[in-house]
A and B are shown apart, each in its own frame.
Chain A
Amino acid sequence: MINEILHAKTGPLTRELLREPGEFGLGQLPVVTKPDATTNMVCGYCSTGCGLTIHLKDGEAVNLSPTTEYPVNLGMACPKGWEALSVLDASDRGVTPLLKNERGQFEPVSWNHAMEEFTGRFKSIQKEHGDHSVAFISTGQMVSEEMAYLGALTKFGMGMLHGDGNTRQCMATAVVAYKQAFGFDAPPYTYADFEESDVIVLMGSNICIAHPIMWERVMRNPYSPEIVVIDPRMTETAMNATQHLAAFPKSDQTLLYGIAKTLIERNWIDEDFVRDHTSGFDEFRNFVAEFPLERVSTETGLSIEQIERFAETIHKGQRVSFWWTMGVNQSYQGVRTAQAIINLALMTGNIGRPGTGANSITGQCNAMGSRLFSNTTNLLGGHDFPNPAHRSKVANIMEIDEATIPTENSWAYHEIMEGILKGKIKGLWVICTNTAHSWINQNVAREILDRLDFLVVQDMYHSTETAKMANLTLPAAGWGEKEGTFINSERRFGLVKKVRKAPGEALSDFNIFRLIAHHWGCSEMFKKWTSPEAVFQSLKEFTRDMPCDISGIESYQHLDSEGGIQWPFPEGAISTSEQETNPLGKERRLFVDGKFYHADERAKFLFEEPKPLTEKTSNQFPFILLTGRGTASQWHTQTRTSKSPVLKKLYPQSPFVEINPADAQRCSITANQKVIISSQRGKMIATAFLTHNVQPGQVFIPMHYEATNQLTDAVFDPYSKQPSYKACAVAIKRL
């Protein structure tokens, strides 16, 4: 007894951290969250689309761990995935609709009251200014079924014409690049390609931080691949490269044309593939003749040896894969740069074989779903609004009047913003995105939103920068509180399940759309769509006979038991699990037969003269500002990741700016000093982090800090309309 009091080796505090066999193949687990059942679903952050095993207790999620057998992540997850459940418990979750009163304060209102406001205000705006004066901004973070419902509700039911998604900010460039080159928006790869390549080229992609689980796949590559990273900054990924080409910002297109010229000159091209499967090569050959190594070296700041070595590496590689992310997409010339990558893959025959491809790594968990089913840029299922046959197909599947389907294309995101500025858009419905933080040139973006007569924000949290500007907020259930499917970067459909109860009166976006359809008076159009899975059955029909045909997927159960299914999966396709029991066998790539989606079945060489930086540095603004992902623990505008106390410990809470020590010395800035960074558009305060990782003349600030976009310059790719976040001119001085 006395000994126990003096030496307490066990007791209540010890028991709190006790681990016990968790069963379900999970190994030991904390007693406090020991599951009585498990179920698998896909993660809701990035496009990697990892499988997570949800630990359930009485039907509700209590913990999670990455799914060992899921063919994407093979038992691993990044910090965001591990913490996916905890952000659902945040105190600033929306629990009831909030309506802003005359004094500018939010008041909780009932759903019925909110619906009266919603329909009343939008209908009166439409009555006064025309149907098209109300628009919507969608997302890449909702399930496909909800995207389809939203797109159909707004465009077929509510008479809107203009709607776009935040995917404009991340994937639009890849979409257009693929569409023009391949004839369809079709990322050709499968993650197994990371493991199969002997040369991996990563452009504008810090996958160690932005897609850590894809880096896992690179690390599993048994061939000691040559890894070439093209990035002005020395990133984690560049650190792990065998060749880091720190090309001057936005000079990558020139570099790629120079490489193409070198490959052609040295006859290092796959002539058979070019002849049989491509078009436009002769014009391309003539065009790149204008890119001699000397010019490329001058414009990129790379040595001729570096450039030649890169070309030689591509030539020597048996299986060369090219990967790109936001460094390419978020550019005023992103489409042509992406196509310059595609051109290299085509001319060297590095496509359609294991370990090859011109591969765009997507951003958001359901960016691909948005591309196919959001009904914004494309008509449902990858169709075209102006095409009467497509409209008729969609109308038949939905059993609606074909006349309700718009015959013209929507404005892109920035055109909608301009529309507000010009007074053509008066009402806006923002769903599951945070425009007031994420849109480029933030000060102007907020002024634009301020001009709206009525702004509705539908989000999990009522605290986002955009929600605070709204007239009405609608509380939405989040990932894990609803059902549906995501499509990941490698075209894999994965299932999201309802494993948590939404707080208060929050409703899934799906249920909110149903409620709105009812109050708007158009619920008859959606009578078939009684559940997310019912919508999924329609999605299958939309894709029938399209490149993304998934008519062979039977049901959610089928998706669940297969561990996700990649498109295409047309009816009659053999179940992948029957083909191969090895998880890698579940991975499939496109263009194995060399046939592309253009009418002539050929891929196109597309190119254009590179343009100089849209905002040149000057005496007043002598630095180029690079922006990008800060850490693997942060996601976009941090509406979710900032709600996890653990994730918050993993990145600096206040902004920092990476600056080269030589520049710092010139500006009399010392380590950890507060500095002001300013551009023509705004300014922010950050702490100086002196590092050789950025080149002299360049500075880097993570995009997650709210103030970062006060600096960025609203210029856009002319084809994809994607904002160019990555390079603008700034000044920096000590505070």
Chain B
Amino acid sequence: MTQPSSQFDNDGLLAWLLEDQQQLTAVEEFSQQHAVDGLPSQAKYYQKLMPASPPGEGEQYAFEVNLDACSGCKACVVACHSLNGLDENETWRDVGLLVGGTTSNPVMQHVTTACHHCIEPACMIACPVDAYEKNPETGIVRHLDDQCFGCQYCTLACPYDVPKYHSGKGIVRKCDMCADRLAVGEAPACVQSCPHEAIAIQIVSIDEVKENAEVDPFLPAAPDPVITYPTTIFKTNRVLPRNTLPADYRSINPQHPHWPLIIMLVLTQLSVGAFAVGHFLTTSFDGAFVEAFQPVQATLALALGLMALGASTLHLGRPQYAFRAVIGLRHSWLSREIVAFGLFAGAASSYAASIWLFGGTAGITQTLGWSVLGTGGLGLFCSAMIYVFTQREFWNLNRTLTRFVLTAVVLGLATSWLALILVSFTLDSNLLSHQQLVGRQFAFWLIVMTAIKLIWEGGIFLHVMNRRNSPLRQTATLMTGPLANFTIARNALGLLGGIVMPAFLLKSASLATPLATVELKNLIMVGMLFIACLIGEFLERYLFFAAVATPRMPGGPRP
């Protein structure tokens, strides 16, 4: 541009300057670098960080981190972001910090980590749609972005917090070791960009990784390597003192609660429980009563169960691909759960229809009832296994299955009671005595089961006294600390809906008040206790997700 003349007036000069500001001149003024054939220019630095040949039989690629060279600059994190075109705040690498030692000999060690391209990747095994594949030659665990439907189960299954959910795109993405760079002899972005050459690509023997996992602690306070057999090699000549721990070892943060999953789990369990209560009633009560009671009960249970399955699709980033969920049946507990609950939905619908058409005591209804129980029980078991698979202590088989079954029982009773009260408006007076008898039984068992559940849940608080900062102590600390309000509300609602209100009704019913006058009051009371129990269970499940201690690689200080 020509220069502004000194004769310019205010507006003329301003216009010229604003125009000048928008001119990009770098390309014209400075000689561009010419296109270069052959290896990229950075190759001269990274070539020694790459294996000479591809992996052979029984081998695969792995990251090798030289801890002695990692100074914690975190260039690898940002270079990976930039050279892989990741979204604004997306990163596939993390740098954590280990601290320990004594005041006279303190130790700090930064640790760069990414996907460990495990021998037995939990993400891949967990995935219900087969959106992960492990390359048989290179061992690289690659995520197929277009196959993913955003269930995020892999984010729970990976012990290293590697797959990251991208809510905008509705899918998970993760490190692929820059597979296509490796394929042409280029180094992954992190390897290229580490100023201290701390990250290299190595070839590891699969057997050796497994053998090492048996004895090798991997890194202090890192998840047990036998879960997935991570391949990353952390090498150091330093001797890390025994008290070396991650800088975030003592920080506890509530986890994502996954609300659709909370609703889905609680309501499916309610549905299974209600069907079970209804089914067993037919065998032990008067036929006429059953015929009157069952249609309402089954419809209520079915409606809430279908609502639960609907809620579960809300958890998907791309629900239009929900049909893919069955693909992983052979290995994914999530696929199995979806299939089991799909069958349950079919069985429960047929059962409800059969009740309306043929009556609750009909033989076909009875048979269908058993199939509802079978599929529902299977679904509930698969639900539990989804969490058991993650190998988090708070989610182990015993704790998860007990929790889910007790929820089914408590809410099954509460739902059935509600159905009973609704039915009472239509009953003949000779059946009302039955109704009252059953109601008293519901009240009694609801009190007992709620008490058992609340006491059993409260057992977690014993772990506050653990000396070690164990996962269960972290859970207990979260529930008594940052999540205390949820804990209090959960127990208050459980007590109210599952114990205080049923006890009150039990007592008032024993006073033998004329029934007709208390029906509406009963309906309100039971409706309220049902809601209290239900919300109490939602909160219990919120805590199940939010208070779990997640395994992870060492992190930095986390105020």
Binding site for B on A (CB under 8 A): 6-14, 16-17, 19, 23-33, 37-41, 53-54, 56, 59-60, 63-66, 68-69, 73-79, 82-83, 86, 111-112, 115, 208-209, 212-213, 215-216, 219, 234, 236-237, 239-240, 477, 481-483, 497-502, 505-508, 511, 514-515, 518-519, 523-524, 527, 530-531, 556-557, 560-561, 631-633, 645-656, 660, 662, 670-672, 686-687, 689-693, 695-696
A163 to B230, CA, bound (A): 59
B residues near A54, Cβ cutoff 8 Å: 26
A219 and B73 contact, Cβ closer than 8 Å, known pairs A498-B26, A654-B559, A692-B102: no
Inter-chain contact A239/B103, CB cutoff 8 Å: no
Give the residues from 90 to 139 in chain B that come closer than 8 angstroms, CB to CB, to chain A. 90-91, 95, 99-103, 106-110, 130
A234 to B81, CA, bound (A): 30
B517 within 8 A of A: no
A-contacting 9-mer, from B9-17, B201-209, B541-549: B9-17
Residues of chain B at interface, number, CB under 8 A: 94
Inter-chain contact B71/A208, CB cutoff 8 Å: yes
Give the residues from 291 to 347 in chain B that come closer than 8 angstroms, CB to CB, to chain A. 324, 327
Q: Name A19's contact: one of B103, B169, B180 (CB within 8 Å).
A: B180
Give the residues from 71 to 94 in chain B that come closer than 8 angstroms, CB to CB, to chain A. 71-75, 77-79, 81-86, 88-91
A24 to B193, CA, bound (A): 17
B residues near A219, Cβ cutoff 8 Å: 69, 195-197
Q: Name B107's contact: one of A64, A237, A239, A500 (CB within 8 Å).
A: A239
A326 to B448, CA, bound (A): 68
Inter-chain contact B27/A655, CB cutoff 8 Å: no
A54 to B26, CA, bound (A): 10
Q: How many A-B Cβ pairs are below 8 Å? A: 290
A56 to B33, CA, bound (A): 11
A8 and B22 contact, Cβ closer than 8 Å, known pairs A208-B72, A652-B556: no
Chain B window 15-36, contacts with chain A (Cβ cutoff 8 Å), 1 for yes, 0 for no: 0011011111111011111111
B residues near A68, Cβ cutoff 8 Å: 41-42, 44-45
A residues near B466, Cβ cutoff 8 Å: none
Inter-chain contact B40/A25, CB cutoff 8 Å: yes
B residues near A78, Cβ cutoff 8 Å: 73, 75, 195
Inter-chain contact A511/B21, CB cutoff 8 Å: yes
Inter-chain contact B78/A481, CB cutoff 8 Å: no
Q: B183: nearest residue on chain A (CB-CB)?
A: A28
A residues near B10, Cβ cutoff 8 Å: 112, 115, 518-519
Q: Name A236's contact: one of B11, B18, B71 (CB within 8 Å).
A: B71
A630 shortest CB reach to chain B, Å: 10
Q: Name B72's contact: one of A236, A662, A689 (CB within 8 Å).
A: A236
A237 to B101, CA, bound (A): 17
A594 to B357, CA, bound (A): 108
Chain B window 252-285, contacts with chain A (Cβ cutoff 8 Å), 1 for yes, 0 for no: 1000000000000000000000000000000000
B537 within 8 A of A: no
B472 within 8 A of A: no
Nearest 4 A-B pairs (CB), nearest first?
A30-B85, A687-B559, A11-B146, A27-B40
A4 to B72, CA, bound (A): 43
Inter-chain contact B33/A24, CB cutoff 8 Å: yes
B residues near A66, Cβ cutoff 8 Å: 193
A506 and B21 contact, Cβ closer than 8 Å, known pairs A83-B78, A693-B99: yes
B6 within 8 A of A: yes
10 contacts between A and B (CB under 8 A): A7-B147, A27-B43, A27-B186, A30-B84, A79-B75, A82-B193, A208-B73, A633-B74, A672-B558, A691-B99
B334 shortest CB reach to chain A, Å: 16
A residues near B91, Cβ cutoff 8 Å: 646, 649
Q: B8: nearest residue on chain A (CB-CB)?
A: A518
Inter-chain contact B103/A696, CB cutoff 8 Å: yes
A residues near B73, Cβ cutoff 8 Å: 78-79, 208-209, 212, 215, 632
A10 and B21 contact, Cβ closer than 8 Å, known pairs A208-B73, A692-B99, A693-B108: no
A residues near B146, Cβ cutoff 8 Å: 8-14
Inter-chain contact A60/B24, CB cutoff 8 Å: yes
* Other contacts beyond A10-B146, A215-B73: 15, CB < 8 A: A6-B327, A25-B33, A25-B36, A29-B83, A38-B33, A79-B73, A112-B11, A497-B26, A499-B26, A514-B13, A646-B89, A651-B556, A652-B557, A652-B559, A671-B250
B512 within 8 A of A: no
A207 to B106, CA, bound (A): 19
B181 within 8 A of A: yes
A647 to B74, CA, bound (A): 9
B residues near A501, Cβ cutoff 8 Å: 21-22, 24
Q: Name A77's contact: one of B34, B144, B193, B252 (CB within 8 Å).
A: B193
A499 to B503, CA, bound (A): 76
B433 shortest CB reach to chain A, Å: 57
A524 and B196 contact, Cβ closer than 8 Å, known pairs A19-B178, A59-B27: no
A29 to B11, CA, bound (A): 44
Q: Name A527's contact: one of B6, B17, B184 (CB within 8 Å).
A: B6
Inter-chain contact A28/B195, CB cutoff 8 Å: no
B156 within 8 A of A: no
Classify the interface of chain B: helix, strand, loop or mixed.
loop
Inter-chain contact A518/B13, CB cutoff 8 Å: yes
B322 shortest CB reach to chain A, Å: 12
B80 shortest CB reach to chain A, Å: 10
B35 shortest CB reach to chain A, Å: 4
A515 and B13 contact, Cβ closer than 8 Å, known pairs A7-B147, A17-B145, A215-B195: yes
B residues near A531, Cβ cutoff 8 Å: 3
A28 and B180 contact, Cβ closer than 8 Å, known pairs A76-B193, A76-B195, A82-B82: yes
Inter-chain contact A32/B85, CB cutoff 8 Å: yes
B79 shortest CB reach to chain A, Å: 6
A632 and B72 contact, Cβ closer than 8 Å, known pairs A76-B195, A215-B196, A498-B26: yes
Q: Name B83's contact: one of A65, A76, A482, A695 (CB within 8 Å).
A: A65
A511 to B99, CA, bound (A): 50
Inter-chain contact A111/B74, CB cutoff 8 Å: no
A residues near B83, Cβ cutoff 8 Å: 29-30, 65
A685 shortest CB reach to chain B, Å: 10
A515 to B4, CA, bound (A): 11
A63 to B79, CA, bound (A): 11
Inter-chain contact A7/B89, CB cutoff 8 Å: no
A519 shortest CB reach to chain B, Å: 7
A633 to B77, CA, bound (A): 11
Inter-chain contact B82/A64, CB cutoff 8 Å: yes
A17 and B84 contact, Cβ closer than 8 Å, known pairs A6-B327, A650-B74: yes
Inter-chain contact B78/A646, CB cutoff 8 Å: yes
Inter-chain contact B88/A645, CB cutoff 8 Å: yes
B residues near A10, Cβ cutoff 8 Å: 146
A16 to B173, CA, bound (A): 11
B residues near A502, Cβ cutoff 8 Å: 21-22
B residues near A111, Cβ cutoff 8 Å: 14
Inter-chain contact A560/B195, CB cutoff 8 Å: no
B199 shortest CB reach to chain A, Å: 12
Q: A208: nearest residue on chain B (CB-CB)?
A: B71
A residues near B75, Cβ cutoff 8 Å: 76-79, 82, 212, 632
Q: Name B27's contact: one of A26, A39, A65, A112 (CB within 8 Å).
A: A39
A residues near B82, Cβ cutoff 8 Å: 63-65, 82-83
B73 shortest CB reach to chain A, Å: 4
Inter-chain contact B72/A209, CB cutoff 8 Å: yes
B171 within 8 A of A: yes
A670 to B556, CA, bound (A): 17
A residues near B102, Cβ cutoff 8 Å: 692
B192 within 8 A of A: yes
Q: B197: nearest residue on chain A (CB-CB)?
A: A219
Q: B46: nearest residue on chain A (CB-CB)?
A: A75
A693 to B45, CA, bound (A): 33
B251 within 8 A of A: yes
A residues near B78, Cβ cutoff 8 Å: 79, 82-83, 633, 646-647, 650
From B11, B79, B102, B169, name the one whose CB has the most chain A CB atoms within 10 angstroms.
B79
A458 to B69, CA, bound (A): 41
